[in-house]
Amino acid sequence: EAGVTQFPSHSVIEKGQTVTLRCDPISGHDNLYWYRRVMGKEIKFLLHFVKESKQDESGMPNNRFLAERTGGTYSTLKVQPAELEDSGVYFCASSQLAGGSLEQFFGPGTRLTVL
């Protein structure tokens, strides 16, 4: 079974540019999550999709961040325009729908550097 995949693995952009991160969850997982780890800080929750619907987006930093999951399969996280403080590792995770295990399966992350 393929795991959670993320693309790209690394991205270096300049302040003010736009970046789109992609996450492909494990097939059949209706729950999809985005997290971010800024250097020296703990991993922080950004948002949670159930299928194509945003269940909880309480962790999204501001309106420069837009997450989508059209069709309830893969998800994208767009940062526009990027700021220096957006640098960090963005993790995606997926899990089964309610009734299954609460275990979240993580992707390897996208390391974003904003210069």
Partner 1 sequence: GQNIDQPTEMTATEGAIVQINCTYQTSGFNGLFWYQQHAGEAPTFLSYNVLDGLEEKGRFSSFLSRSKGYSYLLLKELQMKDSASYLCAVTVAGNNRKLIWGLGTSLAVNP
Q: Which spans of this chain sit near partner 1 (rule: CB under 8 A)?
A: 3-4, 31, 33, 35, 41-45, 48, 55-56, 58-59, 91, 95, 101-109
Give whichever of 18 and 55 is closer to partner 1, judged by the CB atom.
Answer: 55
Give Cα separations from 87 to 40, 53, 59, 60, 109 (angstroms). 12, 26, 16, 14, 13
Token pair for 38 = 């800024």
Give whichever of 4 and 82 is closer to partner 1, judged by the CB atom.
Answer: 4
Least separation in angstroms between residue 16's CB and partner 1 is 28
Give whichever of 17 and 74 is closer to partner 1, judged by the CB atom.
Answer: 74
Least separation in angstroms between residue 56's CB and partner 1 is 5
Give whichever of 81 and 113 is closer to partner 1, judged by the CB atom.
Answer: 113
Q: Look at residues 4, 30, 27 and name the one whose alpha carbon lies nearest to residue 96.
A: 30
Least separation in angstroms between residue 108's CB and partner 1 is 5
Least separation in angstroms between residue 61's CB and partner 1 is 15
| CA atoms 14, 18, 20, 21: torsion sign | positive
